[in-house]
Amino acid sequence: MTTIRIGILAVQGAFVEHERMLRALGCECVELRKPSDIDRVDGLVLPGGESSVQGMLVRQLGLFEPLRREIVRGTPVLATCAGMILLAEKIRNDPRVYFGTLPIEVDRNAYGRQLASFRKTARFDRLGDFETIFIRAPRVVKKGDDVRTLAVVDDAIVAVAFRNQLAMAFHPELGRDDRIHRRFISLINARRDALNLERQKRDAAENGGGDENNADPRPLS
Ligand code: GLN
């Protein structure tokens, strides 16, 4: 098995913490700051920070189109906080849309100033209790039918999955619990397996219709 290579958007925000966690899990991490950095990545991380600043830098640095292409093509993405905002199809209190690949509507800074940061134990889909850390977090106020809810805190959806996109309003990279990052790696492995299978089928078809054509055509008797 070759090492998993993860591209981490590194223009602003909390990217180092994701990198540390993913390296500890055996992944190779590439910091993405220019288009040529997005080379043969198996997964992408969109970290927390300030979505408006990240969105602006992503465009200025020419990263927008290549990143969007990777996401649409099915490369697994782990997005946290500002990253979730960058993926959202709609932002309730902001006219901007960035990648717009995730059918959710989010409310930016949904918890107000007084409650700028807090911790809470949430039940995370298939993982059970997970200690969540929120920092000026958004929350999901609407979602498409095929978007799966992964965690709810105080009646608000705070983590979702949609196809190859895993997005959460909190910061799993700031705690010690790496189970969400492990789940992201499982998603990457599942996609790699699917792509390998497709490649094998294609190769077999290109080599003249599969194994039966390489067989001796004479009857067995
Ligand atoms: N409030 C930030 C935004 O609107 C997100 C905060 C975070 O990523 N911790 O982009």
How far is ligand 1, taken at its centre, from the CA of residue 18, in Å?
A: 16
pLDDT in tens, 118-127: 999 999 999 9
Whether residue 108 has its Cβ less than 6 Å from ligand 1 = yes
Active site positions, annotated = 81, 171, 173
Question: Which of 11, 15, 51 to mutate for ligand 1's pocket (most ligand atoms within 8 Å of CB)?
Answer: 51
- With tokens 């608000």, the residue in question is 156
Neighbours of 209 (CB within 10 A): 10
Tell me how far apart the alpha carbons of residues 214 and 29 are, in angstroms, rounded to a whole number.
Answer: 42
Q: 81 in a domain, yes or no?
A: yes
CB 98 within 8 A of CB 11: no
Please give the tally of structural domains in the chain: 1
Q: Which residue owns the Cα nearest ligand 1 atom 1?
A: 136
Q: 98 in a domain, yes or no?
A: yes
Tell me how far apart the alpha carbons of residues 118 and 135 are, in angstroms, rounded to a whole number.
Answer: 7
How far is ligand 1, taken at its centre, from the CA of residue 126, in Å?
A: 26
Whether residue 49 has its Cβ less than 6 Å from ligand 1 = yes
Tell me how far apart the alpha carbons of residues 167 and 63 are, in angstroms, rounded to a whole number.
Answer: 20
Q: Write out the chain's pLDDT in tens, 221 residues.
A: 689 999 999 999 999 999 999 999 999 999 999 999 999 999 999 999 999 999 999 999 999 999 999 999 999 999 999 999 999 999 999 999 999 999 999 999 998 765 689 999 999 999 999 999 999 999 999 999 999 999 999 999 999 999 999 999 999 999 999 999 999 999 999 999 999 999 999 999 998 755 555 555 565 55
Q: 202 in a domain, yes or no?
A: no
CATH code at position 29:
3.40.50.880
pLDDT of residue 219: 59
pLDDT of residue 112: 78
pLDDT of residue 209: 58
Which domain range does residue 166 map to? 5-197
Q: 48 in a domain, yes or no?
A: yes
